[in-house]
Amino acid sequence: MSRLRRAGRAAAAGAAVLLLRRRRRPAPPEQAGGGVADAGGAPPPGGRVLPEGRPDPRAEAGTAVCLVLAGVAAVAFMVLYGVEPDTQALGVALGACLAFLAAAAILAGKRVVVQERHVEERPPMADPAAERRAARILEEGAGGISRRRLLGGACAFAGVATATALAAPLLSLGPGAPRRGRDARGRWGAGVRLVTEGGTPLRADDLVVGSFVTAFPEGAEKEDIASPVVVIRVRPEEIRPSAGREGWAPGGIMAFSQICTHAACAVTLFRYPLFREPGPAPALVCPCHYSVFDVLHDAEPVYGPAHRPLPQLPLAVARDGTLRATGPLSGDPGPSWLLTDT
């Protein structure tokens, strides 16, 4: 009962507001000039704040048409979503809906509603009096303290210590540094067989001159930065190994770490015997930043941003014809960091 009465009262109030608005409307006072000056917080009783709008029936009709078309496109989107959710059709339907809404809003904003060029005074920004006052409030709040340095020092100590303590658990996120030296060179070592991505042992006969294959240490995690090596074959007499690497390329077969020493991309381009640039010589090339490594000479970088050679894996052909490592990688694989061991 009381709810009904309250609703009735609200309705009466609403009607009164509407009536009052209607009655006030016919007599808007003229505003002088293009820019309307607001006078203080409240407009004069019965006066306007904004200039009176001028009706533009064509713009109103255009806005209405755009809104209806937007609704139609929205319905089309829902139908498509349910029946034939084709990406292009969905995009066109929803895009059209939004485009019509945009057109309606812009048209209404430019032609339907009140147009006004308004001049507003800027609020003052930097204010020396306020600065002095704020500084004084801050300072005077600590006015009666006698042992400032003691408290300041203690506060600094507690603050630094607490902040460090709160940050300390972040150390649980991981080890503090990449592996290096022997740890970084993965499972490679004397006697480890080279296997293909599918896990079959790689045989020397599988490789003709010009071959390029990715291989992994048998039984090891393939997704370790030390694991993938490129195995290539060139004519043995071409190779110019440095001292100590003479026996590393049986029959011209060589293996190098496949991870570029510049920025860790996979070295997947092998240019042999003919090659397109960049860079001279039959070479391994990283496609990310075109670092080029001279495979005939220890995979030394000869072009592009890489600074270190690709670590080499010394190879031998076992009695059964499979390829085996005869030692670890010649350096740390992957990109350089402070303690990279070369």
Partner 1 sequence: MIGALVRRLDRGTGSAGLLAKGLRYVFPDHWSFLFGEIALYAFVILVATGTYLAFFFDASMAHTVYQGSYEPLRGQRVTEAYRSVIDLSFDVRAGLLIRQVHHWAANVFLAAITIHLLRVFFTGAFRRPRTANYRIGLTLLGVALLEGYMGYSLIDDLLSGMGLAIGYSVALSIPFIGGTIGTLMWGGDFPGSGEWITRFYIGHVFLLPALIATLIAVHLALIARAHHTQFRGPGRTERNVVGSPMWPGYMLRSGGLFLAVAAVLVLLGGLAQINPVWQWGPYEIWRSTNGAQPDWYLGWLIGALRIMPNWELVIGGWHVVPNPFFGGVLFPAIVFGVLWMWPTAERLITGDRREHNLLDRPRDRPWRTALGAAMVSWVALMFLFGAADRLLVQMGISYEVQLIVARVLVFALPAVVFLVVKRACEELRRADPPEPAPAKPAPAQRSTL
Q: Which of residues 23-82 bind partner 1 (CB under 8 A)?
A: 35, 37-41, 49, 81
Residue 67 beta carbon to partner 1: minimum distance, rounded to whole angstroms: 12
Residue 90 beta carbon to partner 1: minimum distance, rounded to whole angstroms: 5
Q: Which of residues 129-148 bind partner 1 (CB under 8 A)?
A: none
Among 11, 12, 17, 79, binds partner 1 (CB under 8 A): 17
* 96 vs 317 by CB, closer to partner 1: 96
Distance CA 279, CA 195 (A): 30
> What separation in angstroms does the CA of 22 have from each of 12, 19, 46, 276, 327?
15, 5, 12, 82, 96
For residue 255, which of 337, 172, 322 has the smallest C-alpha distance?
Answer: 322
Distance CA 278, CA 267 (A): 14
Interface mask (CB under 8 A) for partner 1, residues 144-183, using x and -? --------------------------x--xxxxxxx----
Residue type, 213: V
Interface mask (CB under 8 A) for partner 1, residues 85-114, using x and -? x-xxxxxx-xxxxxx-xxxxxx-xxx--xx
With binding defined as CB under 8 A, does residue 271 bind partner 1?
Answer: no
Q: Which stretch, 143-151, 246-254, 265-273, 320-328, contacts partner 1 (CB under 8 A)? A: 265-273
Among 209, 305, 326, 327, binds partner 1 (CB under 8 A): 305
With binding defined as CB under 8 A, does residue 306 bind partner 1?
Answer: yes
Q: Is 198 helix (H, G, I), strand (E, B) or coil?
A: coil
Q: Which of residues 245-264 bind partner 1 (CB under 8 A)?
A: 258-259, 262-264
* 189 vs 305 by CB, closer to partner 1: 305
Altogether, the residues listed in the chain come to a count of 342
How many chain residues bind partner 1 (CB under 8 A)?
A: 98
With binding defined as CB under 8 A, does residue 310 bind partner 1?
Answer: no
| Residues 6 or more apart whose Cβ sits within 8 Å of residue 136 | none
Tokens read off for 200: 């079959």
Residue type, 335: P
Q: Which of residues 196-225 bind partner 1 (CB under 8 A)?
A: 197, 214, 222-225
Among 152, 153, 287, 321, binds partner 1 (CB under 8 A): 287
Distance CA 64, CA 72 (A): 12
Residue 16 DSSP class: H
Residue 298 beta carbon to partner 1: minimum distance, rounded to whole angstroms: 15
Distance CA 296, CA 302 (A): 11
* 57 vs 141 by CB, closer to partner 1: 57
For residue 259, which of 173, 170, 335 has the smallest C-alpha distance?
Answer: 335
CB-based contact 323:203 (threshold 8 Å) = yes
